[in-house]
Amino acid sequence: MNPSQGQGESAPTYAAVLRVPRYLPVFLANALSMWGDYIARVTIAAVVYERTRSPLATATTLAVSLVPTFFGRSLIGPVVDRFPYKWVLIWSHLLRAACVLGLMWLVLQGASYWLMFLVLFGLELVGGASTASYMVLVTDLFEDRHLYARAVGLGAMSEQFNQAIGLALGGGLIVLVGPQTGLLFDLLTFVVAALVTLFVVELRPVSGERGRGLRGFARDLTTAAGDLARHPVLARLVTLSAIACLGIVAPEALALPIAGQNGWGGVLMASPIVGAVVGIILIGRRDVHEQNRSIVPLALAMPIPLLLTAFEPPIWLVAALFFVSGMMQAFMVPLQATFALVTEPALRGRIFSLAGSVSIAAAGLSYLAAGWVGQHSGPHLAVTICAGVCLALVALIAATWPHSRVRSAVDSAYATTSSRAA
């Protein structure tokens, strides 16, 4: 495909994205590292449950993997802007491999699961820098921003599949070969990812000014937070992403209570994920300007099917409602792509990390809110209540959406080539 493509009638294909030099091995290495994250979570959760037979302790294990992700993305973000992202990626993969070695030793010694929590916390904390570095790397790989927008969609689909594959691999390895061998496979995923990054990723110097020492590090972080909050486009995109979490996570959080004992729990949890994949495929066929114009309408439409859950329809219809709502979640693809391209290159590490931490926090709070409402009103009604609150909040954002500013930012971001290529 011609690198200057983007102004034509048809959107780039996924095959064209994978043909971009160095992207395919980087894409596969990132998938491996994601598998490693999920394998570690499932393996340690299984070990904890085997020893304690406590659902609370098992759930705590999974929660431990979410908290450090928030702190890792928010506090370690400036590292990505201080050092070449190639080395940040390599060292984050190696440090996570070292954490897995620690977990293997703790499992072998039969150590306290609180020690396992601590090491798992460190593994997920370091992953925050890896995630931000990967986002900056992918942004730099695609000089054609239309191809980049397509790559964001491919990455979103990959994340859904990698979550399922990682969880399935983790559970299968524990049953077939035991937790230690499962963790060994986990270790190899991080080592392979580090080697691929070493030999494939181009070394690029960091750009922009950075403060010195710990005070400069903290100043960089607070400055980036202020820049994000004051930016007329980035702030709205982050806010919309955060408030949409309530409608996005409610079906997953309450799927099992809605299903009860009828065996439909897995189907209900999978329905919005499958719907999201279909939505990503469909929106990827549209021009990037059309994609961005659909952000607000799709965000408004996303919680509407969930309002019908209060009538307690047949379980197959609930699954269909969850699927349709998942399709509308495709607005996150152009939102993420535009957010990345509008951010100044010198601030991408910090801004990406901060935005990611906001999303993690919003998702965690949304899970808690959905669970609390479900505890007091019943799972069917709770989904509707969460959807109604989400719809109201999105409507408030839509009423003050800076359409002209967003349109101008999109026109600038999706120029035929990046400023560096020019």
Helices in 142-233 by DSSP H: which ranges? 145-177, 179-200, 213-230
Please return the burial class of 67, using the count of CB atoms within 10 Å of its CB with bins 0-12, 13-18 and 19+.
middle
Distance CA 89, CA 85 (A): 6
Note the pLDDT tens digit of each residue in 268-314.
Answer: 877 888 888 899 889 888 888 888 899 999 999 999 999 999 999 99
Q: Percentage of the chain with pLDDT > 70? A: 80
pLDDT (0 to 100) of residue 225: 76
What is the pTM assigned to this prediction?
0.71
Question: For residues 310 and 384, what is the distance between their CA atoms, to the nearest angstrom?
Answer: 6
Q: Average pLDDT, stretch 196-218? A: 71
**209 or 403, which is more confident:** 403
Q: Which residues contact 260 (CB under 8 A, 6 or more apart)?
A: none
**DSSP at 11:** P
Q: What is the pLDDT of residue 314?
A: 92
* Alpha carbons 133 and 96: distance in angstroms, whole number: 15
Rounded Cα gap, residues 362 and 234, in angstroms: 16
Q: Where are the alpha helices (DSSP H) in 314-347?
A: 315-328, 332-342
Q: Which of 96-105, 201-210, 321-330, 399-408 has the lowest mean pLDDT?
A: 201-210
Q: Are 231 and 61 a contacting pair, CB within 8 Å? A: no
36 or 170, which is more confident? 36
349-359 tens-digit pLDDT:
778 778 877 88
Structure confidence at residue 70 (pLDDT): 62
Instruction: Report the C-alpha gap between 96 and 43 in whole angstroms.
Output: 15
Percent of the residues in the chain that have a pLDDT greater than 90, as a whole number: 24
| pLDDT value of position 240 | 95
Is residue 189 a contact partner of residue 36, using CB atoms and an 8 Å limit? yes
